[in-house]
Amino acid sequence: MLTRRAAQVLVMAAAVVLGITAGVAHQKTLREGRSDFLTEWAALLTRPAAVTFHFASDRAAAFVRIFRVNSSLKRENALLRERYSSARSKLVELRESEAEAARLRELLKMKEELPVRTVAARVVIRPATPWADTCTIDAGSEQGVMPGSAVFTTRGLVGQVFRVGRRSSQVLLLTDRSSSVAALVQGSRAPGVCSGQGTPELLMEYIPADSRLRPGEAVVSSGEGRIFPKGILVGHIVSVEPPGEGHFRSAVVAPAVEFRSVEEVLVAVER
């Protein structure tokens, strides 16, 4: 039997011979342009690692591309949102300007048709409730406004000025308890006086008892008293009190103007 030392020497000798043989064979295959056994086995053994490396490299490159695209899309989305918001704001401003221009055109047309001289003004302080009794406009004595000047819009009568400053005035609305206007029922021409009640509606009194009145009929200013121009819409009849034993009857009138939504007005600067 071989001793352990002899066995080790024999294995080493065999390894050297095998290495020399493999080297010679490898040189020969290289000269002939063929792949040898060792090269093929080395490629086979390293293939999983190479495939894993290429896969990881491709995934990393794809991730970088996706990250760049995602960042670019986020920037584009932010820019588009900003442009959309800006365009939307400009559209709102444009619509507001168009609405204001339409209201001013109507006021200008009314101004040209009225028999009295007027100035245009903006409402700077609106009534907070439907039955609030005053509002403030941005026209005063410098524009020719006087106490008692009639105030109206294209929709109808608003009230009259009771306090005047240099560039602003306070207007007493029709709904105030101390406010009244001589009026006519447009259809029947029945006269009366519309007075404020401190509520959203007016009371038309002193209507001749034999007058024929119907809900929905228009009530206009009569021009008596030379405060309010004649023919300005005051409101519409809501209900009619039945004739009593006296010579007069009364009716409830809804104002034509929604005082909380008034923005521009005309103010008469002459009686």
User: Please, which pLDDT band fits residue 242 given cuts at 50, 70 and 90?
Assistant: confident
pLDDT one-digit tens code per residue, 207-235: 998 888 999 999 999 988 888 889 999 99
Burial (CB < 10 A; 0-12, 13-18, 19+), residue 67, is exposed
pLDDT of residue 26 exceeding 70, the answer is no
**What is the band of 133 on the pLDDT scale with cuts at 50, 70, 90?**
confident
CA distance 151 to 229: 10
Neighbours of 180 (CB within 10 A): 18
In the numeric block, which tokens belong to residue 164? 């005047």
Alpha helices per DSSP H over the chain: 4-32, 37-113
173/162 Cα distance (integer angstroms): 10
CA angle 13, 19, 20 (to 5 degrees): 90
pLDDT band at 253 (very low <50, low <70, confident <90, very high): very high
Higher pLDDT, 58 or 257: 257
Is pLDDT larger for residue 45 or for residue 147? 147
How many whole angstroms separate alpha carbon 266 and alpha carbon 158? 10
Q: What is the pLDDT of residue 227?
A: 85
Helix (H, G, I), strand (E, B) or coil at 197: coil
Tokens 């043989």 identify what position?
21
Task: Break the chain into its structural domains and give their ranges.
Answer: 118-268
Average pLDDT, the chain: 80
Provide mean pLDDT across the span 69-75: 76
The whole-angstrom separation of Cα 229 and Cα 270 is 10
- CA pair distance 67, 147, nearest whole angstrom: 72
Radius of gyration of the chain (CA): 48
Which is more confidently placed, 179 or 246? 179
Closest C-alpha to 125, from 260, 268, 227:
260
3-class state of residue 22 by DSSP: helix
Which residues does 199 contact at the CB level (< 8 Å), separation at least 6?
A: 131, 175
Written out in words, the top-level CATH class of the domain with range 118-268 is mainly beta
pTM of the predicted structure, to 2 decimals: 0.63
Residue 160: predicted pLDDT? 94
Q: Which range, of 69-73, 77-81, 133-137, 157-161, averages the lowest pLDDT?
A: 69-73
Per-residue confidence (pLDDT) for residue 37, from 0 to 100? 52
d(C-alpha 192, C-alpha 204), whole Å:
6
Distance from C-alpha of 152 to C-alpha of 227, rounded to nearest angstrom: 12
Residue 157 pLDDT exceeds 90 = yes
Sign of the C-alpha dihedral computed for residues 248, 250, 218 and 224 taken in this order:
positive
65: tokens are 């591309």
Cα torsion for 97, 99, 100, 105, to the nearest 10°?
120
pLDDT given at position 162: 93
Q: Is a pLDDT exceeding 90 seen at residue 138? A: yes
pLDDT at 136: 94
Q: Percentage of residues in the chain with pLDDT exceeding 70?
A: 69
236's enclosing H/E stretch is strand 233-240
Encoded tokens for 139: 């026209």
